[in-house]
Structures are given as structure tokens and as C-alpha cells.
Structure 1
Amino acid sequence: MGHEGRDADDQDIRRQQAPDSTMRIKGKIAKGIGESGNFLDIPWVNRQLCEKLSFQPWSGTLNIVIDDGDAQQILKEKGKERLVAEQAGFCDALIFPALLNETYQCGIVLPLVPNYSATLIEIVAPIKIKETLGIEDGDEVVVDISL
């Protein structure tokens, strides 16, 4: 193999990590544990998400399991917007605007807690995603995240 493959790989890395760019993540829908709806209904959480994502989030997240273990690290390095915990017992989270399947406005919420799974991405949206898109656990989705 010549330099072509390496140059293409280098270009992909630069594109993923360039300021004001997007990062594409593919993953499969996974069943959650059902706690996010209560979290998203907390007034200060809902208010901050509305302010930072410019939409009213549906009460629940879509959990995506990704293969790229480095994706969360890139997000942590590039994260600008933050959900700031206003109550004891809660954690801060990074927030990113995104598009689901190249069409649906959504946001990524990345809790800043120790031992959070490196292969899990939580998506919030102004719609009930599974029902609206007709998707279910195990289906593959694409998320374009604004960095």
C-alpha cells in the first residue's frame, strides 16, 4: 500500500477534529434503563437543554451503542456547551447539537461521570424518536455531531 491510504486516514482524522466541524458516528439502538425521562423533566435540566439546543426535548433519550471507543474522547476534548448541575447528586454533562440519520434535529448528552460507558451515546430530540422514525432496538443509525 502506498501513501494514498495513510493520507486518506490522516485527512479523516483532521476532518473529525477540526474546529467547527462535524463528527459522524454510527451505532445501534440499545434499550435504556428508563431513567432519562425523569431526568429530562427536571426544570433546570429542561431549561438548559432548551437554551443550548434550541428545542424542547422529549422526555427520554435514545441510547446508541457505538464501535468507536475514541469518539467520546474526541467529544470530551471538543465539548463547548455544558449542562451544569444545579442540584446535589447530579453531574454536569457535555451537550452537542446533532442530526440523526441526516434529517432529524437532535442533541447528544454526554454525562461527565467516572466509568460512563465509552461506547454509549445518549440522544435527545424534540420528537419521540423510535415512534416517529419507525426504528427499534438493534437498528443502525447515523449521527452527525456538531463540534
Structure 2
Amino acid sequence: MEIDGIVTTGYGRGREFLSQEFYSLKFKEKLDFKAYPGTLNIIVPDEYIDEINNIKDSCKSKIKGEDNFGGVKYIKAILNNEINGAIVFPEKTSHDTNYLEFISKEKLREKLNLKDNDKVNLKFKEW
């Protein structure tokens, strides 16, 4: 699956959960990179929501939560044909269903000079 979306500012919770050692260690183990403590938030067109929900529901890759932090499903993806990472689907989220959160080892806004409302492309690698 390949979709375009629009960069937006999140709530800052991605930084909090990716700073937790158990998430950090598991993502390193499963994805072969230490995730930058933060997510790139992307709004996707409503026409993709059903397909994204099907992918999320059938996704087998999951990290169990600890304490007050919920579990998170993830799927490998590529941003703008150059950045390997993953789309994460936290069990606990305040985002609408048309938000995706992308993680990688890089601070993406800085590396790609991204600002709110910039268009980006995501390619799902597996599901």
C-alpha cells in the first residue's frame, strides 16, 4: 500500500512513549534501529481509513505495554522513498483514525526540512 499524507503537529506523547526504555529496546530489537524519541504525525485522506484499519487489525507485530503505557502495533514503512522506519498504532491514542504516526532513527522534521502541511509519501512494507 502506498499513500500520500500531510504532516501535522501531534500532542507530544510520541516522545514520551519512545523515551520509555522497554519500547526503545523492543523497537531496536524488532526494527534494527533505535527510534528517535518522537513521531512524525501524518494526516491521511479519509478514503484510506478502512484499508489502514484492516492493516492495523491484522498486524501481528506488537510490543506489549508496561505500567500505564499501552501496547503498540507497528508495520515497517518507507517515508518519501528514502527513510526506513515504521508506522506505529498505539493501543492508547487521542488521535483521530486519519492520523498515522511514523518512527525512524532520525529527527525527520529536521532531516527532511518538514513543516506542518507538507506532503509526504508512505509505502507500507509488509502486513
User: TM-score, length-normalised on structure 1?
Assistant: 0.78
- Distance (Å, rounded) in 2 between the aligned partners of 1:114 and 1:98: 20
Question: Aligned to 1:123, which of 102, 105, 119?
Answer: 102
Q: Deviations over 1:14-65 (max 9, x none)?
A: xxxxxxxxx2121100111112112111110101111111111111100000
- Distance (Å, rounded) in 1 between the aligned partners of 2:66 and 2:12: 22
- Distance (Å, rounded) in 1 between the aligned partners of 2:29 and 2:54: 24
1:49 aligns with 2:10: no
Q: CA deviation at 1:92?
A: 1.3
**C-alpha contact (below 8 Å) 2:17/2:69 kept by paired residues:** no
- Between the aligned residues of both structures, percent identity stands at 27
Q: 1:133 — aligned with what?
A: 112
Higher relative contact order (CA 8 A, sep 6+): 2
- Distance (Å, rounded) in 2 between the aligned partners of 1:77 and 1:35: 22
Evaluate the alpha carbon distance shift between residue 46 and residue 133 of structure 1 in structure 2; reply closer, same or farther with a 3 A threshold: same
- Distance (Å, rounded) in 1 between the aligned partners of 2:2 and 2:56: 15
Note the aligned Cα RMSD (angstroms).
Answer: 1.6
Show structure 1 runs of 5+ residues with no match: 1-22
1:35 aligns with 2:10: no
Q: In structure 1, the residue corresponding to 2:11 is in which secondary structure?
A: coil
**Quick check: which has more Rg, 1 or 2?**
1
Q: CA deviation at 1:77?
A: 3.1
Q: In structure 1, the residue corresponding to 2:49 is in which secondary structure?
A: coil
User: TM-score, length-normalised on structure 2?
Assistant: 0.89
Report the residue type matching 2:5 in the other structure: G
Equivalent residue runs for 1:32-111 within 5 Å:
32-67=10-45, 68-87=48-67, 89-111=68-90
Q: Deviations over 1:72-111 (max 9, x none)?
A: 3122233121011122x22111111110011111111101
Q: 1:26 — aligned with what?
A: 4
**C-alpha contact (below 8 Å) 2:4/2:119 kept by paired residues:** yes
- Distance (Å, rounded) in 2 between the aligned partners of 1:48 and 1:142: 26
- Runs (4+) off by over 6 Å: none
Evaluate the alpha carbon distance shift between residue 47 and residue 114 of structure 1 in structure 2; reply closer, same or farther with a 3 A threshold: closer
